[in-house]
Amino acid sequence: MVAKIDLHEARGPFMVIILISAIVGILAIGFGSAFFIKVTNPLLRNLYQTVQALQSSLDKVKLLNGLLPICMSCKKIRDDKGYWNQLEAYIRDHSEAEFSHSFCPDCVKKLYPDLVQSEEE
């Protein structure tokens, strides 16, 4: 005896399993994507804000670097074109620094000894 198998009857359970597997897979992908977005969005937002803050800080920084040829006597600095510039002018032109002039105590004593003596008395 030869048994005959009806393919329509055998195919039914496989189709149900395939359909259930597809639905479970789609749900898993959907929930996984939603979870991924929920977790990464705050991180990406924080990263974006950090990059913006760093870029803003970098835009404000004007950096002096390398070797500066400076006169041992008058302290003038030679620029790339070979001109000698006052220290204050060179730093002002190559950075964001501003200068306010004053005298240190040693120079006040040397340049204005009468003023120092009158204050001590």
What confidence tens digit (pLDDT) does each residue in 1-59 have? 666 767 777 787 888 899 999 999 999 999 999 999 999 999 999 999 999 999 888 87
Segments forming the whole domain that contains residue 57: 1-61
Residues 55 and 86 in one domain: no
Residues 85 and 34 in one domain: no
pLDDT at 108: 86
Mean pLDDT of the chain: 86
Give the H/E segment covering residue 94: helix 87-94
Please state the domain count of the chain: 2
pLDDT at 118: 66
72 found inside a domain: no
Spell 27-58 as b/e; 16+ CB within 10 A means b.
eeeeeeeeeeeeeeeeeeeeeeeeeeeeeeee
Dump pLDDT digits (tens) for 69-118: 999 888 899 988 999 999 888 888 888 888 888 888 888 888 888 887 76
Spell 63-77 as b/e; 16+ CB within 10 A means b.
eeeeeeeeeeeeebb
